[in-house]
Amino acid sequence: MRARVSWTLVLAAFLAFPPFQRERVEEMGFGQIFRIERMRVDPALTQALRSRWDIEASAFAFPWGHMIPSLEDVSRIIGLRVYGRAVSGYTYPCYHDLVKRLLDLPVERRSSLVPRVALQESLGLYEVGKNAGESEDEYLARLARVSQRELASEPGPQADLDLRRFLILFLGRLLFATRGNAVHCLFLPLLEDLGEVGGYAWGATFLAHQFDGLSASERQTSTSGFYPLLQVWAYLHLPALGRGDLTRPGFVPIACHWDSRRDTRHLVDQLERLQEAIDSYPHLDVVWQPYLGEGDEGQPWLAPACPYFGRSVWLHALNLVLPLNLFLTQRSLGLRQSVVEFPVRERFRRPGRSFRGLHDTTNWRERAREQIENWERKGKAVRSDATTDDAYLQAYALKYGGKVYKSAQHQVDVTGEIASLRALLHLAVQDREAAQRQTAELQSELERVRGTGAGGASSSRSARGSPSLMEARLTGAVLRAEEAQRHLEERERDLGLAHEHAMELQSERDWFRGEVQTTRSERD
């Protein structure tokens, strides 16, 4: 409910601004957010997605492979600009003086947080309660009227003060929301020169914040920040889940098309059904490229953003620097997925989640210089020369196995893992047999060359070179082939043992199910 209230307050403040102020917000690249309808929160969907987030890869690990929200998703779904300067600079142990100078609001001496009530009152949003029988539109209109009386109507220092207060509320309570009611001042130094605000890649910062929220403690049951991105991303890529309704086609950004489908079942029941639906989702129904039919009409922010699409790059949010490993999802770019080395956890850890004097002043442009340069070069383009996805899927199954299944049924049912192991074992047998044939052919050729050398045939020497040189090369090739064959035999043996163990687990599961059924029958 907290996210919904914040959305209404921020939207009311935006609507209360005079036209010249709204134009300034539009120029900063934030205007598209306010065209998105107040979408209903779908906590079951966000929890189901969050449970499948792999922190090491910074990607979702589904039964059919990795999937990652990309800069193109941010640009097309919510309209935030993903191009421009990286959101980087200084972080401070205390923002007291900055808040006093730039916002003229009270703040505790050793704190980086502005009290939300004081910030709302400065924007005229102190009457936040909803009256009995008041509709959402009536409530929003009343808030906007009240706020309008407190805001400057002409350009000047007071109008700049109002805009900074609004932007801190917008960034701290909507785009980059944190737990609790206070609003963080982390981005306040970037708002000192309001003419520079629109030059930053706020969409990339938003994506980094989403990744960080997905990687938070498993004890948290929700993700912070602007929730429509993840919900609409799931509607587009996994339409068979049926969690969204396409109510307004043709509008931009794409989040304007959709609304969350109402589900009156208990949250636990919704989550169980969603986990089961994802575990058994038809792989052919996964939409890897949902924007093939989308035009660019009415979306001027897309043209300068295109050079950032389809590239693996580092994302920056001041003290948070995270990788966008788009090479893990080459199928989303219309490519065949090549074999990749799955990344280990690689991230810049922030000094601490609380900024109450726990760290020194830090220059992130210096500390993350290499990653800043990576962003300025637009990262690295994703390319693939693979002709099939099979090798990637084999490596994926070997790394994740049955861990990608989250529903109660699949947590006990090892059938999927047995099938994966059986497929890998079959491929290992084929590879080992091919290696045996190659070793035998090389050994036969080696014997032939040795016989030729012993006979001293001059014609053979002139036509094919020195037999001793060929013998040495063939001997090395035979040794390498034998070593590869031994490696494949060991892999086949390991997979065979794993398959046998999985079969034993399945037998034990079936036995326990039989015991449970017998006990239930006796009880009845």
- Confidence tier at 356 by pLDDT (50, 70, 90): very low
CA dist 47 and 23 (Å) reads: 36
The domain locations on the chain are 7-376, 414-448+470-522
Residue range 243-269, pLDDT digits in tens: 999 888 878 899 988 999 888 899 999
**Would the pLDDT of 220 be above 60?**
no
Whole-number average pLDDT of the chain: 83
Q: Which residues contact 329 (CB under 8 A, 6 or more apart)?
A: 59, 65, 66, 67, 68, 70, 288, 337
Choice between 101 and 436, residue whose per-residue pLDDT is larger? 101
Give the model's pLDDT for residue 223. 55
Choice between 97 and 431, residue whose per-residue pLDDT is larger? 97
Based on the number of CB atoms within 10 Å of its own CB, is 336 exposed (0-12), middle (13-18) or buried (19 or more)? middle
| Residue 389 DSSP one-character state | S
Give the model's pLDDT for residue 464. 47
Q: Which residues contact 99 (CB under 8 A, 6 or more apart)?
A: 105, 107, 114, 185, 188
Token representation of residue 54 = 């792999």
**What average pLDDT does this structure show over 197-212?**
94
Residue range 431-461, pLDDT digits in tens: 777 778 888 888 888 888 777 766 654 444 4
Give the model's pLDDT for residue 411. 58
**What average pLDDT does this structure show over 30-38?**
87
First-to-last alpha carbon distance for the chain, in angstroms, is: 44
Choice between 292 and 454, residue whose per-residue pLDDT is larger? 292
> Can you list the positions of beta strands (E) in 115-254?
183-184, 244-246
- Confidence tier at 336 by pLDDT (50, 70, 90): very high
Give the model's pLDDT for residue 355. 39
**pLDDT-wise least confident of 11-20, 263-272, 310-319, 357-366:** 357-366
**Would the pLDDT of 412 be above 50?**
no
**Would the pLDDT of 414 be above 60?**
no
What is the per-residue burial (b if ≥16 Cβ within 10 Å, else e) of 219-240? eeeebbbbbbbbbbbbbbbbee
Percent of residues in the chain assigned helix, strand, coil, to nearest 5 = 55, 10, 35
- Confidence tier at 1 by pLDDT (50, 70, 90): very low
Token representation of residue 385 = 């020369």
Q: Which residues contact 43 (CB under 8 A, 6 or more apart)?
A: 221, 222, 267
**Would the pLDDT of 503 be above 80?**
no
Amino acid residing at 204: A
* Entry field: residues in the chain: 524
Strand order in the sheet with 320-324: 320-324, 311-317, 380-381
Choice between 383 and 173, residue whose per-residue pLDDT is larger? 383
CA dist 290 and 235 (Å) reads: 10
Choice between 454 and 413, residue whose per-residue pLDDT is larger? 454
Amino acid residing at 350: R
CA dist 121 and 107 (Å) reads: 14
